[in-house]
Amino acid sequence: MLRRATSLRGALVLLCVLLLVAPVVGGVSPRAQGKRHTIEACEPEDITYADPEDPSLTVVVGTVCAATADAETGTAPIADGCTSTAYALAGHRWDKAYTGRIDPRGSGLTETAVMTAFRAAATTWDAAAAATLFGGFTVGGDASKVGTRDGVNQIGFRNLGTTGVLGRTTTWFTSAGVAFESDAVYNTAYKWSTTGERSKADLQSVATHELGHAFGLDHAPTTTANACLTMYYKSTLGSTAQRTLGSGDLLGIQKKYGAPATATPTPFQATFTKHGSNTWWIEVKVTANLPLAGVTASVNGDAPVALAKSSWGTWSKSVYVPVGSTVVFTAKATDGQTARSAPMAWP
């Protein structure tokens, strides 16, 4: 998991890594200081060290592991309808929309497929927050520049070896917690897909997870109840579940950037026109500004009865209506709003 860097000097660098489970071979000490680190396998803890090129910078490396090909449960986790409310926040946020360059070479996918997956992933987070998080992606740059602090948000594909690492995100931010650059690399040692192929990593799922790190989220607590979350520390080959944000993912991003305003529904308006009447028949024409789900009629305050829509557009039913009665019609829109007529003398 990733934790907030302790250094308050200069810019902070946050490395977020999405891994598949793999044997721990070699590796580096989570607490080693003053040297550059290479992630060789799944590390159970964060690695924090001073950047050897600029000691005022702090680097935090987080490794995350996952079951391969549904090895743990036999089925992929389901994110849709995920009600876990767990989340964890990193120490940074953006004060402007994130824009980036993507080098699709080496992905094994078409340029269109790569760009579509990344845009869908970024739009998922953008739609969940009040702030505008995503400013757009363009094709360009070079994957070799990922991890270089050069003012470019570069995304690309490189061979990181079969260590279990699927993707790694590096984010630089100031002592005030304002992010100013975030790069990400995706491992070509693993096969990628955009269609949920069982033996391949789903690009949109992994990109949604990694962009969550870029936007300021850490991994959700590592309990089974949180396995359905996008920001859970595991990812399953062949699963598309992490494309969909769970409750905790939504709460986390909205803690950072606020919740989007609830759209104000269009006020429902309807007019009711009497369309022929007698003591055994009710018929009305309803003109409305929203699609209708149904119309009911109440005779003399009795329980409303549902009317049927005729082929010519009116609503009617055979109902006994004594002379001198009043009828009140209620129309219901497909979004649940209702409108009621004034009492009408009947027949």
* Mean per-residue pLDDT, 138-145: 96
Instruction: Give the whole-number percent of the chain exceeding pLDDT 70.
Output: 77
Q: Is it the case that residue 123 has pLDDT exceeding 90?
A: yes
Instruction: Give the whole-number percent of the chain exceeding pLDDT 90.
Output: 50
Residue 313's domain is classified under what CATH number? 2.60.40.760
Angle subtended at Cα 37 by Cα 69 and Cα 180, rounded to the nearest 5 degrees: 90
What range does the domain containing 296 cover?
270-346
pLDDT of residue 168: 85
pLDDT of residue 140: 96
pLDDT of residue 99: 98
* Interatomic CA distance for residues 179 and 215, integer angstroms: 8
Residue 2 domain-assigned (yes or no): no
pLDDT single digits (tens) 15-70: 555 544 332 222 222 333 333 334 445 454 455 556 577 666 555 555 444 445 44
* Mean per-residue pLDDT, 81-97: 89
pLDDT of residue 17: 53
Per-chain mean pLDDT for the chain: 80
CA 181 to chain centroid: 21
Q: Which two tokens stand for residue 347?
A: 């027949």
Q: When comparing pLDDT for 273 and 53, which is higher?
A: 273
User: Do 247 and 278 share a domain, yes or no?
Assistant: no
Q: Which two tokens stand for residue 264?
A: 């104000």
User: Do 159 and 292 share a domain, yes or no?
Assistant: no
User: Do 63 and 162 share a domain, yes or no?
Assistant: yes
225, 257, 289 - which closes a domain: 257
Given pLDDT bands bounded at 50, 70 and 90, which one contains residue 177? Answer: confident
Residue 275's alpha-carbon distances to 282, 285, 303, in angstroms, are 8, 6, 21
Residue 193 domain-assigned (yes or no): yes
Residue 233's domain is classified under what CATH number? 3.40.390.10
Residue 147 domain-assigned (yes or no): yes
pLDDT of residue 70: 41
232, 257, 282 - which closes a domain: 257
User: Do 323 and 210 share a domain, yes or no?
Assistant: no
User: Do 243 and 284 share a domain, yes or no?
Assistant: no
Residue 1 domain-assigned (yes or no): no
User: Do 284 and 223 share a domain, yes or no?
Assistant: no
pLDDT single digits (tens) 157-167: 999 887 778 88
Q: Is it the case that residue 277 has pLDDT exceeding 90?
A: no
pLDDT of residue 215: 94
User: Do 70 and 217 share a domain, yes or no?
Assistant: yes
Residue 80 domain-assigned (yes or no): yes
Say if residues 84 and 246 touch (Cβ distance below 8 Å): yes
Q: When comparing pLDDT for 185 and 236, which is higher?
A: 185
233, 257, 281 - which closes a domain: 257
Residue 49's alpha-carbon distances to 34, 35, 243, 306, 340, in angstroms, are 6, 7, 32, 70, 68
Residue 5 domain-assigned (yes or no): no
pLDDT of residue 5: 38
Q: When comparing pLDDT for 155 and 83, which is higher?
A: 155
User: Do 148 and 183 share a domain, yes or no?
Assistant: yes
Given pLDDT bands bounded at 50, 70 and 90, which one contains residue 6? Answer: very low
User: Do 52 and 183 share a domain, yes or no?
Assistant: yes
Tally of structural domains, the chain: 2
pTM for the whole structure: 0.67
Q: Is it the case that residue 97 has pLDDT exceeding 60?
A: yes
| DSSP 3-state of 76 | coil
Residue 315's alpha-carbon distances to 231, 327, 331, in angstroms, are 51, 14, 10
pLDDT single digits (tens) 295-316: 999 999 999 999 999 888 899 9
User: Do 197 and 318 share a domain, yes or no?
Assistant: no
User: Do 228 and 94 share a domain, yes or no?
Assistant: yes
Residue 7 domain-assigned (yes or no): no
Residue 3 domain-assigned (yes or no): no
User: Do 341 and 199 share a domain, yes or no?
Assistant: no
